[in-house]
Amino acid sequence: TQLLEQSPQFLSIQEGENLTVYCNSSSVFSSLQWYRQEPGEGPVLLVTVVTGGEVKKLKRLTFQFGDARKDSSLHITAAQPGDTGLYLCAGALAYSGAGSYQLTFGKGTKLSVIP
Amino acid sequence: ETGVTQSPTHLIKTRGQQVTLRCSSQSGHNTVSWYQQALGQGPQFIFQYYREEENGRGNFPPRFSGLQFPNYSSELNVNALELDDSALYLCASSFRGGRLGRETQYFGPGTRLLVL
């Protein structure tokens, strides 16, 4: 079972449209990160959210962390072809008993923005 | 540019062989994590090293092993390669010094491994 559910899995939209990607879990995370990945490359960090209810903006991208720190969303306003890519959310599990943590990734949302 | 480098970029091996992948962390980072990303999937956590010791492991068999060196560079070793080991292998470095779970991981470009 996937600990982090991302939706939608695929999204194809016209340039200028708005979109929202969702990341949901039954687990509480100490932080959640959003990455963007191009084919054949490593994920590139977009943002880290750590506080329940936190909202962060990065130009046309708005990230929100749920109040209970179990879910997050990424909203893109007026999408452009340059936004095309794989968007991944990753949660850091909120435990420290083993003195470590791991990032748990969703399967990703593959976004295509058509000119 | 994250400052994290990996080598080689691509590798082809045959089933049963062994492979070593290398990662150079971002300057000042003391923690390295390794992930396996199969085609069409998100990265899956393999293990994490902190101060040269394994400090957390995902659901991977013992034939996946690693090392972290005093300069915080790292290796991932996979023995007895299987066809399903074909994937993009990513390392990520971070600095652990504050609240656990809140450090940010920065990824390298990955090594694409193909097992025939």
Of the candidates B33, B102, B105, the beta carbon closest to that of A50 is on B102
A90 chain-B contacts, CB cut-off 8 A: 42-43
Task: Output A5 or A101, whichever has higher pLDDT.
Answer: A5
Cβ–Cβ of A107/B42 closer than 8 Å? yes
Please give the biggest Cα pair distance in chain A.
49
Dist CA A31 CA A103 (whole Å):
9
Site from B105, B106, B113, B114 to mutate, A interface, most A CB atoms within 10 angstroms: B105
Task: Give one DSSP letter per residue of A85-97, joined into a string.
Answer: EEEEEEEEES--T
Q: How far is CA B47 from CA A55, A63, A71, B73, in A?
A: 31, 28, 24, 14
Dist CA B85 CA B112 (whole Å):
10
Dist CA B109 CA B101 (whole Å):
23
Residues of chain B scoring pLDDT < 70 = 1, 98-102
Predicted local distance difference test score (pLDDT) of residue B99: 64
Q: Residue A43: pLDDT above 90?
A: yes
Average pLDDT over residues A92-101: 61
- pLDDT, tens only, A47-94: 999 899 999 999 999 999 999 999 999 999 999 999 999 999 999 875
Angle ∠(B41,A54,A68) on CA atoms, nearest 5: 75
Cβ–Cβ of B56/A101 closer than 8 Å? yes
